[in-house]
Structure 1
Amino acid sequence: MVKLTTSFVCQQCGYQSPRWMGQCPNCNTWNSLVEAVVSTSKQRSAHSAQHEKIEAVRLSDVKKEVYAHRTLTGIAELDRVLGGGIVGGMVTLIAGEPGIGKSTLLLQIAQNIKGEVVYVAGEESATQIANRANRLGVKSTHISIIESSDVDGVIGQISQMSPISLIIVDSIQTMTTSDLTGTAGSVGQVRECASRLSSWAKRSHVPVFMVGHVTREGTIAGPRVLEHMVDTVLWFEGERSEFLRVIRAVKNRFGATDEVGVFTMEEKGLIEVTNPSELFVGGFEGVGGSAVGVILEGSRPMLVEIQALVSPTKLAFPKRSASGIDARRLELIVAVLSRRVGLPLWDNDVFVNVTGGIRLADPASDLAVALAVASAFHDKPLPRGVVALGEVGLLGEVRDVIQRERRIKEARRLGYKTAITSKETRTVSEAIKRFISTK
């Protein structure tokens, strides 16, 4: 006999409660508990349940070669982010805004994989996917499509299709199970479907890629536990109106999380950018307000151009606008320039932009930001062939950065002969006096 039970689940963290509460006691989020109806065919007590026989295995006896073998995706930028390729049984969640190119990337991966690939289409029809594959020039003779959102039916079908090299689920928010009466995309459905797919992947030793939607706040739709259930979480970033795409791993059980892959979106799909420095630096020199810095994304040094605009304001509170860097970091650098260097920025608006659409998190870009703002204030350009790398401290000092020589080598490879570092200039004020003519 089917018995219905009702519980309330937090949409943010997945916390369950037998009754509704205005605030989740686990994550303290307000109005996040939604009702979920669970249907169970039978209830078994702990004494009557039949337990599976469990055996302990010594860690030294585990076959280490299982994870040593990786399957390359055929996309070097993605393989770099994944840590060298796909591992058997690996469950990967790829998230990004609608239209950013997630489905395009997955089709290109499917084309490069040797062996049978199953594409589970929960959003689009087989015709739509075939049309996209044709537009991208994807050879799809080894790709099978399952048009279904029933996770149990999908698992039953792929279990009979042996051998399979890769499963693609587009998207996890459209999958449902009849064991839950909630609608597709609800917290319970997303969590249960992801759990069943992950369990099947581990048992079958077949890698699974799942597409995840994002909310308006920029978080993955569904319970936060979804990110804990998978092995790898990839973020696909970029503006739909721009051609640049950046993919990074925010979680990776089989590799590092500090690598990034850079692509450009073109008519024939995503094209790898093997030398991002040439893409991010425009070469527009001789104008005040521009400085070139060298950041480190994982093991890869990149040159970036930082542009600044300083304009007098009549407002009581001047604007501090940042695009591509943290706004609080910009406020800190502006405060150092005002207090330690003596630039009267309290009556000026300051705008800073990182060209190319990349976001900076490396503090080594601080000095380049400071020089760009100072250059814009004085309307004097930096000399040609100059790059800046250094962290700016609250005392106005320039601090050294990790792998300095490697960054300088990358800059010299691209024709930049002079590097402003903590070895040449101890303070920001000294760097401005030396490289920006204020006379």
Structure 2
Amino acid sequence: MAKSQSYFECIKCTYQTVKWVGCCPDCKEWNSLDEIHTTKTATKAKLTIQPDKHLHTLDTISSEQQQRLISDCSEWNRVAGGGIVPGSFILLSGDPGIGKSTLLLQVSTQMSQNHQVIYFSSEESLAQVKLRFERIQHIKNNNLLFSDQATLEIISEICKQKKPTLVIIDSIQNILSQNSNALPGTISQLKETTFHLMRLAKENNIAIIATGHITKEGNIAGPKLLEHMVDAVFYLQKEDQWQTRTLRSIKNRFGSINEIGFFHMKQDGLQEVQNINQHLLEQTKHAPGSTLVSSLEGTRPIFLELQALVVPLKAGIPQRVITGIDHKHVMLIAAILEKYLHIPLSKHDLFFKISGGLKTKDQTCDLGIALALLSSYFQQSLPAKTIALAEISLTGQIKPIHNIDIHAKECQTFGFSHMILAKDQVLQKQHTNVKKLSSVYELLQFFPEQETNS
């Protein structure tokens, strides 16, 4: 007879204990332990297997490369590494209302022109899905099938019989497995559902894309194990002040990570933005405190406008307000400038941001950060169409960056007249008006008037 048992598992680190505790002993997270119910059954008989059926030599394994599933959306294809790999499992996450369902409905419609696609909607009724479809799409065909089924075993059986090329699950937190007594969205249900869908994808060569909820901290709801199990994790995010959505690949077993795609939210759905740098440059204002840099997102160079505001401190503790880039990184560059150029930034309020609400972690922005701070401090703008690409060491030396030719090619395409690089930087192709520097001492030459706002 089956015997019901339970234990507690941390949703952050999967630590398990038989008794509930307020703080996880492993990761120290509070109120993170959920109760898991299991059913203990009688021990099954020992399996009898034939090892030769399960073992293969390299010569017997087919090396034929599968053709990726390519949609009409080039931004989606870029983030997916050139297209969706058959048999892969992709997790798409983002804030509520950000456009996850809209994006997947557009992708599934495009894919259905050449492949059979099944869209399982467990969050919306079929009538609601139809209203959304009619709002954003005008093409209908019989290759795109819809279902509001939310039971894992039924979904699996439908896929095995219909053999679609692509399956959409919206969302994975609402799928219920009959093998678990827990509610949908709990740890045990998510584990069971994800594992079953992974097996379904691999064994039947079906590409599966599932949407996932996020927590208030911005993490995917559920255990970290969920992200480890799937083949790719994409995040759909909104950039401040714009109706722009960015699609980022955080994990991708079949492509580059940190790839980024841009979309504009329109009345009829998400419209891809292929020439994002042209759009960004149109928003750029030439003024003191503004510097242009190029950040490599995956394999794509993106122009960013760094904006700094240096204000003399009147009283109290200096303010440090920084958005879009790591706070400590900007403070590091400010400390280098104060140490070697004797500029009293510690006696000033510093405000720093990336225009358009974009974000970056690229070290190629070091020189741009320094020039933006100096430009605001001296109240003098850099020459128009100038871009800075270099790292800065703690000793004040200006260091070359990787993949410079990718940045340089993009700069030449958009007609930048000046490039500021490290002295040791080597370009495969010569460019005109390249200024090379060896240390931060040489930065003062761009501000000959030396007028400060102190």
CA distance in 2, matches of 1:284, 1:164: 46
Alpha-carbon contact 1:381-1:436 (below 8 Å) kept? no
Residues 1:137 and 2:137 aligned together: yes
Q: For residues 45-60 of structure 1, what are the structure 2 equivalents within 5 Å?
A: 45=44, 48-50=45-47, 54=51, 55-60=54-59
Could you tell me how far 1:383 is from its partner in structure 2?
Answer: 1.1
1:432 is aligned to 444
Residue of structure 2 equivalent to 1:266 = 266
Corresponding residue of 2:188: 188
Return the alpha-carbon distance in structure 2 between the equivalents of residues 316 and 286 of structure 1. Answer: 32
1:339 corresponds in structure 2 to 339
Moved more, 422-431 or 50-59: 50-59
| Alpha carbons of structure 1 residues 310 and 251: separation in structure 2 relative to 1, 3 Å | same
1:122/1:312 CA distance change after superposition, 3 Å: same
The code of the aligned residue for 1:59 comes to L
Q: How far 1:257 sits from its partner (Å)?
A: 1.2
User: Is the deviation greater in 226-235 or in 16-25?
Assistant: 16-25
Report if aligned partners of 2:240, 2:357 keep a CA contact under 8 Å in 1. Answer: no
Give the alignment partner of residue 109 of structure 2, picking from 102, 108, 111: 111
Q: Counterparts of 1:144-183 in structure 2 under 5 Å?
A: 144-161=145-162, 163-183=163-183
Matched, 1:92 2:79: no
Alignment-mate amino acid for residue 157 of structure 2? G
- 2:7 corresponds in structure 1 to 7
Q: Which moved more, 1:337-346 or 1:322-331?
A: 337-346
For 1:71, what is the secondary structure of its paired residue?
A: coil
Corresponding pairs, count = 434
Equivalents in 2 of 1:57, 1:99: separation in Å?
Answer: 47
Distance 2:211 2:95 in 1: 11
How much does 1:21 deviate?
3.8
- Give the conservation status (yes or no) of the 8 Å contact 1:386–1:418: yes
* CA distance in 2 between partners of 1:197 and 1:240 (Å): 35
Task: State the shift of 1:225 in Å.
Answer: 0.6
> Hey, what does 1:295 align to over in structure 2?
295
Shift of 1:429: 3.2
Q: Measured at CA, do residues 53 and 44 of structure 1 come closer, stay the same or move farther in structure 2, by a change above 3 Å? A: farther
User: Is 2:239–2:358's contact at 8 Å kept on the other side of the alignment?
Assistant: no
Structure-to-structure mapping, 1:253-402, within 5 angstroms: 253-282=253-282, 284-402=284-402
Distance across 2 between alignment mates of 1:13 and 1:181: 22
Q: Is the 8 A contact 1:9 1:188 kept in 2?
A: no
**RMSD over aligned Cα atoms:** 2.0
Distance 1:34 1:436 in 2: 63
Give yes or no for contact 1:39–1:179 (8 Å, CA) kept in 2.
no
SS at 2:75's partner residue? helix
Contact 2:232–2:253 at 8 Å: present in 1 too? yes
Which residue identity does 1:79 align to in structure 2?
A: N
Task: Determine helix, strand or coil for the equivalent of 1:158.
Answer: helix
- Give the whole-Å Cα distance in 2 for the aligned partners of 1:374 and 1:128: 54
Matching residue's letter, 2:55: A
CA separation in 2, counterparts of 1:138 and 1:206?
A: 26
Offset, 1:28: 4.2
The Cα offsets for residues 144-203 of structure 1, whole Å up to 9 and x where unpaired, read as 221122111221222222x31111001111111122222111111111111111111111
Measure, in 1, the Cα distance between the counterparts of 2:49 and 2:448.
73
After TM superposition, give the deviation of residue 426 of structure 1 in Å.
Answer: 1.4
Q: CA deviation at 1:301?
A: 2.0
The residue identity in structure 1 corresponding to 2:446 is: R
The aligned runs of 1:403-414 (5 Å cut-off) are 403-414=403-414
- Relative to 1, partners in 2 of residues 1:390 and 1:291: Cα closer, same or farther, differing over 3 Å? same
AA aligned opposite 2:131: N
Q: Cα 1:139–1:50, aligned 2, differ >3 Å: closer, same or farther?
A: farther
Stretches of structure 1 that go unaligned for 5 or more consecutive residues are none
- Of residues 185-194 and 173-182 in structure 1, the stretch that sits farther from structure 2 once superposed is 173-182
Partners of 2:58 and 2:302 lie apart in 1 by 40
The whole-number CA distance in structure 1 between the counterparts of 2:401 and 2:23 is 44
> Per-residue CA shift, 1:103-161, capped at 9, x if unaligned?
11101110111222111111111111111111112534322221122111221222222
Secondary structure at the aligned position of 1:68 is classed as: coil
CA 1:128–1:411: 2 relative to 1, 3 Å: same
> How many angstroms does 1:346 deviate by?
1.4
- What is the CA-CA distance between 1:25 and the residue it aligns to? 4.6
After superposing the two structures, state which structure 1 stretch, 220-229 or 145-154, moved more.
145-154
The 8 Å contact of residues 392 and 399 in structure 1, kept in 2 or not, is answered as yes
Q: Distance in 2 between matches of 1:18 and 1:35?
A: 9
Kept in 2, the 8 Å contact 1:97–1:214? The answer is yes
What is the match of residue 231 of structure 1?
231
Q: Is the 8 A contact 1:277 1:302 kept in 2?
A: yes
Q: Which residue of 1 aligns with 2:419?
A: 419
DSSP 3-state at the match of 1:38? strand
Aligned partner of residue 263 in structure 2, secondary structure: strand
Of 210-219 and 27-36, the range deviating more from structure 2: 27-36
Structure 1 residues 139 and 7: alpha-carbon distance in aligned structure 2, compared to 1, 3 A threshold: farther
Selected match of 1:70 from 68, 71, 90: 68
How far apart in 1 are the matches of 2:72 and 2:43? 48
1:224-243 per-position Cα deviation (integer Å, ceiling 9, x unaligned): 11111111111222247631
Contact (CA 8 Å) 2:284, 2:305: kept in 1 or not?
Answer: no
**Separation in 2, partners of 1:414, 1:377:** 28
For 2:138 and 2:199, locate their aligned partners in 1 and report how far apart those are by CA, in whole Å: 30
Contact 2:227-2:233 at 8 Å conserved across structures:
yes
Preserved contact between residue 371 and residue 432 of structure 1 (Cα < 8 Å): no
